[in-house]
Amino acid sequence: MRLIVCTAVLTAHVLAAASSPAWQILTEGAAEGSGYKRSEAISALGTIRSAEADKLVVAALADKDIMVRLAAVGTLAERKSRADIPMLKRALSDDSGEVSFIAARALWEMGDRSGRDVLEEVMFGEQKKQGFIQKQIRGAKATAHDRKGLVWMGAKEGAGFLFGPLGTGIGLMEQAMKDDAAQARVLSATLLAQEKGPEAAGLLGEVLVDKNPLVRAVAAKLLGGFNGPSVRGKLEPLLEDKNDTVRYMAAASIVRISRKSRR
């Protein structure tokens, strides 16, 4: 009887999470027609670490849009979980050289040598896959998409690594480059968040109104590591944020906090 009751309670919690406004924002984002929006939603979903969220991340590894696949492999690489090794191994065979490289690097850092061939090919300049940069340059005809793709690539090599999977957001990276102080604000927030106390949560709450959406998104992501209704209350206004990445990350953090409160 006790087992049946526990199962019923757990099922009720799962259903409640699935029907919440925050979860709806994320699932709708993952189904967006725009590859950029899907990639931003997948980056946010990757922070939740639940079976429901992981299904969407795994599905994104096979998305037709490279930006979505990069977001999926990037979030798997960031969390460094051995449970993700099978998914990272699958990404080694991606048509994009960059996706396979990120997967190989993540595996290597976890002690798995499955991607050795990829790393050796890159080291010796023999990467035979059609990489993202080559693909963009070959097809570049001064279109907005191609310019954004090249801008993203440069940002990912530099400031993008500071922001993890959030670096997949083209618009966010463009704004980060325009705002030189944004990187310092993000790094400071990341360091302060390590304290995990109410003071740190309060400071991060103040950053949620930063003029730069990248800073707001990172603050929202960091607050997902805290707990309590007051933290959730700080995040809820961001569900109406005009920036998609900010909305998705705030929604993901609300789901994370809700899951912790039910344990």
Domain extent at residue 203? 2-261
Find the distance separating the first CA and the last CA of the chain, reported in whole Å.
20
pLDDT at 178 over 50: yes
What is the value of pTM for the model shown?
A: 0.75
- Mean pLDDT, the chain, rounded, equals 77
pLDDT at 85 over 90: yes
Q: How many domains does the chain have?
A: 1
Between the alpha carbon of residue 143 and those of residues 46, 146, 150, the distances in Å are 31, 5, 11
pLDDT at 9: 36
Q: Identify whether the C-beta of residue 29 lies closer than 8 Å to the C-beta of residue 44.
A: yes
Q: Would you place residue 246 in the very low, low, confident or very high pLDDT band (cuts 50, 70, 90)?
A: very high
